[in-house]
Structure 1
Amino acid sequence: MYLYHGFIQRLNKATEFVTMFFLIMMVVLIFVQIVSRVIIGSSFSWTEEVARYLMIWVAFLGAGFAFQYGAHMSIEVLFKKLNLNMQNIFQIISALLCTLFFLLLIVKGIELIKGSINVYSPALKLPMVIVYAAIPIGAFLQILNVIDITWKFLKNNSRGRTNE
């Protein structure tokens, strides 16, 4: 399982880098749009479109590695009052429910991709498959991270420590 965890760490670092790059591009494009609107009196239609699509990718990619930072919403007050065995059970149930939801996202995302093979964005004529691919890719990354944090949680609890 250590090889898996090392792989997840490297994958998350690469995903963080791509997400950061997309976020920077998004900010630059929005800045260009604002400046062009003020100076020229008109903005480029493609900057808004690209920024919107980058935002979709940032959200789906970032959701995966957000698990490693504990950045997703949770109810820890009740969870921490439980004994270790109950915490393990709830962690497993939570991981299974999340995984089922992410599998649904993968299936529906692939359906969306299949249905949009000949669909292009209005301004750039970008294939919408590129935009919609964020859904199954992001969901897959979330599944990998849910498995990883659940494994680490259970391993820590088996040693008698709580996951802080």
Structure 2
Amino acid sequence: MIRSVLNTISRGLTLVCIVFMAAIVAVLFYAVVMRYVFHNPPSWSMEVSRLMFLWTVMLGSALVTRENSHIQITFILNALPKTPRTIWMVTMNLAMLFICLIIITEGIRIYPTVSEALSPSLGLSMGWFYLCIPVGAFFMALYVTENLIRTVNEYIRSLRSERNPCH
């Protein structure tokens, strides 16, 4: 049940990232054509593409967190025996969860202040630019929690199978 909800969330985030990346390409292509062909660059193109880029980075970071695909050096981790490796992975997941919670709380704390400012060319609340930080960190925390639970469950399952190899 929970896994299917998380899968649905991941599909939604992936779709948002795909749409935003395609829109960034379209907006920037339009801006280049307008600038170099018609000598009339749009004032809003950089702002719109920056907004979509920020959201794509934060949501994409959450997606790669779920897949445990962030850059990491694994040769030492892979050389460790099962128990120390699991302890290390649990510790890292707890540290990541703690950092995500700090980012969420600080992002929520600064949101009212930054949302009062307006973006220069669109007049859009700067809150939209900063909101991606706590939202992305929330999804990262969700996926780190999933990874943490999966790591502990896999470890417990492996211990049970070692004690009872018939099952």
> What TM-score does the superposition give when structure 1 sets the normalisation length?
0.91
Q: Which segment drifts farther, 113-122 or 136-145?
A: 113-122
Q: Which amino acid aligns with 1:41?
A: H
Equivalent position of 1:10 in the other structure: 8
- Aligned residue among 90, 104, 115 for 1:92: 90
- Aligned residue among 120, 123, 126 for 2:121: 123
Stretches of structure 2 that go unaligned for 5 or more consecutive residues are 160-167
Equivalent position of 1:76 in the other structure: 74
Stretches of structure 1 that go unaligned for 5 or more consecutive residues are none
Alignment coverage as a number of residue pairs: 159
Deviation at 1:69, TM superposition (A): 2.7
Same amino acid, percent of matched pairs: 23
Deviations 1:103-134 (A, max 9, x none): 11112211221112321100000111112110
Distance 1:150 1:87 in 2: 13
Distance 1:84 1:156 in 2: 11
- Aligned residue among 55, 58, 63 for 2:56: 58
Deviation at 1:73, TM superposition (A): 1.5
> 2:115 aligned with 1:138, yes or no?
no
Deviation at 1:27, TM superposition (A): 0.9
> What TM-score does the superposition give when structure 2 sets the normalisation length?
0.89
Larger radius of gyration: 2
Distance 2:78 2:116 in 1: 50
Aligned-CA RMSD value: 1.5
